[in-house]
Amino acid sequence: MVATAASSAFFPVPSPDTSSRPGKLGNGSSSFSPLKPKFVANGGLKVKASASAPPKINGSSVGLKSGSLRTQEDTPSAPPPRTFINQLPDWSMLLAAITTAFLAAEKQWMMLDWKPKRPDMLVDPFGLGSIVQGGLVFRQNFSIRSYEIGADRTASIETVMNHLQETALNHVKSAGLLNDGFGRTPEMFKRDLIWVVAKMQVMVNRYPTWGDTVEVNTWVAKSGKNGMRRDWLISDCNTGEILTRASSVWVMMNQKTRKLSKIPDEVRHEIEPHFVDCAPVIEDDDRKLRKLDEKTADSIRKGLTPKWDDLDVNQHVNNVKYIGWILESTPQEVLETQELSSLTLEYRRECGRESVLESLTAVDPSGKGFGSQFQHLLRLEDGGEIVKGRTEWRPKTAGINGAIASGETSHGDS
């Protein structure tokens, strides 16, 4: 009984209309051939089964493989066990996606048109500058950044001075004369000589605003026997309006002894081919500056000390920093209601990191016009003069450049 039940589980029961033939196994289907025993020489029994077609179970064909039965219908196989390997992403698909993204980006890059479409766009998009006018003038463009403007939403005087200094150094570099340090030529480097500014004059017609693009042109000329003059013109790239004129005189100093030096002939031969024979852009202001002290000054600011960031590569305070210190003693009312229109500075000596300074300001009695004029002195605590200067101011135009009037507060800005 048990054997019969086991057999019926694997072999179908024939239908009533199926004819039975004698000699077939269990009167089953005719697809099975009889088993024929065959004796081999070694005495073993070898059974040979002859089958003309694969057997069927419950109407489905089956095949025997490795001693097991397998249906030929497309039955889904069980998923493989989850392992670390088969849970990894398809790297080929990821690589294809990255490649597609790069190709699309490259196509967009090649389609870009770098030519300026408006007159106010940068002619020099990377701000590197270039030599023009027969190799004697250096030109560079600057875009006014948000961090370069002040409370009036215009560029500060320090921003203007930084543009002057940057173009001066880039001019020397573009001319192939920059060796080491701040604008030192190869012959200056051999003799431990550096440039120091002796006098600076700046006249500002209008300050640029955030987003404006300015063009700076600079060149050098001879100044006396042992000096060099450098001039600048700053203009609006869009309108061509002259915004600032500046002129300066430079002399040489020995970096080790910190004493002034004559220009050696070897250095003169390096720089003279780059001199321009022309008048300065600003007439020399030769008015004498009266002596300032605690008694004659109207305001004094003490305890000014340079920071490490205030030093340049020649290990003395950057020239632009002096302007900020001078303005420290300028009356607050003037800073709020007027803007600096002209500046004259005479540099007496350098200032080091350990120096402690005082800023003195007095009203210039010789001042004329509708603005204010002041005389300034920046000195060491022991009385040694660092910088003497004169500033001229003009009233701020109401509403120009979106400036907020003095005393008003904008609660909408954050």
Average the pLDDT over each of 123-132, 143-152, 312-321 and give the range with the smallest value: 123-132
The residue from 171, 237, 274, 351 that is catalytic is 351
Structure-block tokens of residue 165: 């200094």
Q: Looking at the structure, tell me whether residues 148 and 219 fall in a common domain.
A: yes
pLDDT of 205-251, one tens digit each? 999 999 999 999 999 999 988 899 999 999 999 999 999 999 999 99
The residue from 171, 316, 319, 376 that is catalytic is 316
**Who wins on pLDDT, 105 or 153?**
153
Whole-number pLDDT of residue 28: 44
pLDDT of 270-281, one tens digit each? 999 999 999 999
- Does 408 fall in a domain? no
Q: Looking at the structure, tell me whether residues 209 and 327 fall in a common domain.
A: no
Whole-number pLDDT of residue 107: 63
Distance, in Å, from the CA atom of 184 to the CA atom of 195, rounded to the nearest integer, reads 7
Helices 157-174 and 319-328, axial angle in degrees (round to 10): 170
Distance, in Å, from the CA atom of 267 to the CA atom of 280, rounded to the nearest integer, reads 23
Backbone angles phi, psi at 188, to 5 degrees: -65, -40
**Of 234, 257, 284, which marks where a domain is finished?**
284
Contacts with 323 (C-beta within 8 Å, 6 or more apart), sequence order: 157, 158, 161, 343, 345
Answer whether 137's CB lies under 8 Å from 131's CB. yes
Q: Does the annotation mark 316 as catalytic?
A: yes
Q: Looking at the structure, tell me whether residues 241 and 221 fall in a common domain.
A: yes
- Does 192 fall in a domain? yes
Confidence of residue 413 (pLDDT cuts 50, 70, 90): very low
Distance, in Å, from the CA atom of 232 to the CA atom of 224, rounded to the nearest integer, reads 19
Distance, in Å, from the CA atom of 280 to the CA atom of 247, rounded to the nearest integer, reads 7
Q: Looking at the structure, tell me whether residues 139 and 278 fall in a common domain.
A: yes
Mean pLDDT across the chain: 77
Structure-block tokens of residue 184: 């030192």
Answer whether 56's CB lies under 8 Å from 31's CB. yes
Q: Looking at the structure, tell me whether residues 267 and 329 fall in a common domain.
A: no
CATH code for the domain of 176: 3.10.129.10
Distance, in Å, from the CA atom of 338 to the CA atom of 394, rounded to the nearest integer, reads 5
**Who wins on pLDDT, 240 or 35?**
240
Backbone angles phi, psi at 261, to 5 degrees: -135, 155
Q: Looking at the structure, tell me whether residues 231 and 334 fall in a common domain.
A: no
Structure-block tokens of residue 213: 């693009």
Q: Is the pLDDT of residue 261 over 90?
A: yes
Distance, in Å, from the CA atom of 158 to the CA atom of 149, rounded to the nearest integer, reads 10
- Does 231 fall in a domain? yes
Q: Looking at the structure, tell me whether residues 256 and 351 fall in a common domain.
A: no
Whole-number pLDDT of residue 101: 83
Contacts with 3 (C-beta within 8 Å, 6 or more apart), sequence order: none
Contacts with 19 (C-beta within 8 Å, 6 or more apart), sequence order: none
- Does 98 fall in a domain? no
Q: Does the annotation mark 314 as catalytic?
A: yes
Structure-block tokens of residue 130: 């270039």
Whole-number pLDDT of residue 275: 94
Tally of structural domains, the chain: 2
| Reported pTM | 0.65
Q: Is the pLDDT of residue 29 over 50?
A: no
Contacts with 306 (C-beta within 8 Å, 6 or more apart), sequence order: 317, 321, 351, 352, 353, 355, 357
Distance, in Å, from the CA atom of 413 to the CA atom of 390, rounded to the nearest integer, reads 35
Q: DSSP state, 205? A: S
Confidence of residue 80 (pLDDT cuts 50, 70, 90): low
Confidence of residue 320 (pLDDT cuts 50, 70, 90): confident
Q: Is the pLDDT of residue 48 over 70?
A: no
Distance, in Å, from the CA atom of 374 to the CA atom of 395, rounded to the nearest integer, reads 15
Q: Does the annotation mark 27 as catalytic?
A: no
- C-alpha distances in Å from residue 67, one per residue of 26, 28, 70, 232: 22, 21, 10, 99
Bridge-based pairing of strands 242-254 and 260-261 is antiparallel
Q: Looking at the structure, tell me whether residues 240 and 325 fall in a common domain.
A: no
Burial state string for 144-173 with b = 16 or more CB within 10 A and e = fewer than 16: beeebbeebebbbbebbbbbbbbbbebbbe
Answer whether 342's CB lies under 8 Å from 203's CB. yes
Where helices occur in 151-299 by DSSP H, the ranges are 157-174, 186-190, 265-271
Answer whether 86's CB lies under 8 Å from 80's CB. yes
Domain ranges, residue 146: 122-284
Whole-number pLDDT of residue 77: 61
Whole-number pLDDT of residue 54: 54
The residue from 162, 179, 238, 314 that is catalytic is 314
**Who wins on pLDDT, 399 or 335?**
335
Confidence of residue 40 (pLDDT cuts 50, 70, 90): very low
Q: Looking at the structure, tell me whether residues 325 and 369 fall in a common domain.
A: yes
Q: Is the pLDDT of residue 2 over 80?
A: no
Q: Looking at the structure, tell me whether residues 222 and 240 fall in a common domain.
A: yes
- Does 114 fall in a domain? no
Average pLDDT of span 198-203: 96
Q: Looking at the structure, tell me whether residues 258 and 292 fall in a common domain.
A: no
**Of 250, 284, 318, which marks where a domain is finished?**
284
Q: Looking at the structure, tell me whether residues 241 and 360 fall in a common domain.
A: no
Distance, in Å, from the CA atom of 223 to the CA atom of 194, rounded to the nearest integer, reads 17
